Structure 1
Amino acid sequence: MDKFTKITGVAAPLPLINVDTDMIIPKQFLKTIKRSGLGVNLFDEMRYQDDGSENPDFVLNKPAYRSAEILIAGDNFGCGSSREHAPWAIKDFGIRCVIAPSFADIFFNNCFKNGILPITLPQEQIDMLMKDAEKGENARMTVDLEAQTVTTSDGETFPFEVDAFKKHCLLEGLDDIALTLEKAPAIQSFEAQAAVSRPWV
């Protein structure tokens, strides 16, 4: 998993509430178990028209936001089913941070496990970030995980809270597998002792 320390980039405004995981990545794309390749189908039903062409009105299809690394969203983002494909699609598109007033719990935790930083801020601050994001590609925000701050293109800074363990994992690029591998020496020692004390197992 890629380390997350600080990003400075374009933020895409998505002022919708209750964006569920089926909106993020529709069910027909859940057949894969690969974490890559889903970015093209992120927000598929809003992003594409019936004939398969891009919807020019959808924010991520606009030239200013095609390389967005930050998403400013509405309340209850990531609700619905618990599909881990949702953060996979977001990450594969190139978005590393989602900022919203609230998140669905399972989606929130899945983000950390996949190298995405979900940030919860009060609605008033979200409104300010949304307006800043609407300025387009010349308005670049900075998200600093170590300092736990979001800074607008105008230099206004908002602090955010993050669980210390989840912060450590993002800073070090540790997913669940990497965390287990950190304990490899202890696991190997236990297995060696078990083989001696219980050779019949």
Structure 2
Amino acid sequence: MPKAKKKMDKFTTLTSVAAPLPMINIDTDMIIPKQYLKTIKRTGLKEGLFAELRYDENGKKDEDFVLHKAPYDKAQILIAGDNFGCGSSREHAPWALLDFGFRCVIAPSFADIFYNNCFKNGILPITLPQEEVDKLLDDASRGANATITVDLENQEIKGPDGGTITFEIDPFRKRCLLEGLDDIALTFEKGDYIERFEAENAAARPWI
């Protein structure tokens, strides 16, 4: 069985300006509208990210939208409202976020399917109490001088004022992000077992 290449970039420590988007119930259609779902590629989707919020019906930029403003147009961390990623289960949603440059999304809660899809695509979703999200939103509003650091190994978020917030994460998902393991890479970790099973199965049932 050939050795698999890791499909995801590792997530260890991330320092970035955080883009504040304090809206609740941002669904997957708002993250990436249906007209952008024709592709099966994971790239080229950043233009469609939050398209209905970023552009008017004529395709003109809304210059007031946060992702059109420096330094947030280069942000790798997004801070959002409750129930982020609700709606239909489209993997294009984390693809679009990743293609724009986001590696971490922080919110009080996430829709389950979107939450799971984030881990499969190298994005760290962090769930925090509303009061801590509000503090990070306030930090983010300061702009370029308000970078925050997400330390996955130690499960800490360090704010621009030196404060630290801890977060919880499933140990298995943490390992996958730290090592850059997607579902394919995890399967190849079982390569010896799979080869042994195939050999034993071929010997026991040679007619197959």
**Would you say same fold, with TM above 0.5?**
yes
| Aligned counterpart, 2:4 | none
The one-letter amino acid paired with 2:121 is N
Distance, in Å, in 1 between the alignment partners of 2:123 and 2:46 is 14
Structure-to-structure mapping, 1:1-201, within 5 angstroms: 1-201=8-208
| Aligned counterpart, 2:3 | none
The one-letter amino acid paired with 1:167 is K
Distance, in Å, in 1 between the alignment partners of 2:52 and 2:73 is 17
Q: What is the Cα deviation at residue 197 of structure 1?
A: 1.4
Distance, in Å, in 2 between the alignment partners of 1:12 and 1:194 is 53
User: Which runs of 4 or more aligned residues in structure 1 lie more than 2 Å from their structure 2 counterparts after TM superposition?
Assistant: none
Length-normalised TM-score, structure 1: 0.98
Distance, in Å, in 1 between the alignment partners of 2:144 and 2:93 is 25
SS of alignment partner, residue 12 of structure 1: strand
Length-normalised TM-score, structure 2: 0.95
Distance, in Å, in 2 between the alignment partners of 1:112 and 1:198 is 38
Moved more, 15-24 or 29-38: 29-38
Distance, in Å, in 1 between the alignment partners of 2:55 and 2:189 is 43
Q: What is the Cα deviation at residue 53 of structure 1?
A: 2.2
SS of alignment partner, residue 20 of structure 2: strand
The one-letter amino acid paired with 1:134 is S
The one-letter amino acid paired with 2:18 is A
Distance, in Å, in 1 between the alignment partners of 2:162 and 2:87 is 35
The one-letter amino acid paired with 1:49 is D
Distance, in Å, in 2 between the alignment partners of 1:152 and 1:95 is 18
Distance, in Å, in 1 between the alignment partners of 2:140 and 2:121 is 24
Distance, in Å, in 2 between the alignment partners of 1:135 and 1:146 is 27
* Unpaired runs of at least 5, structure 1: none
SS of alignment partner, residue 137 of structure 1: helix
Q: What is the Cα deviation at residue 48 of structure 1?
A: 1.1
RMSD: 0.7
User: How many positions carry a matched residue from both structures?
Assistant: 201
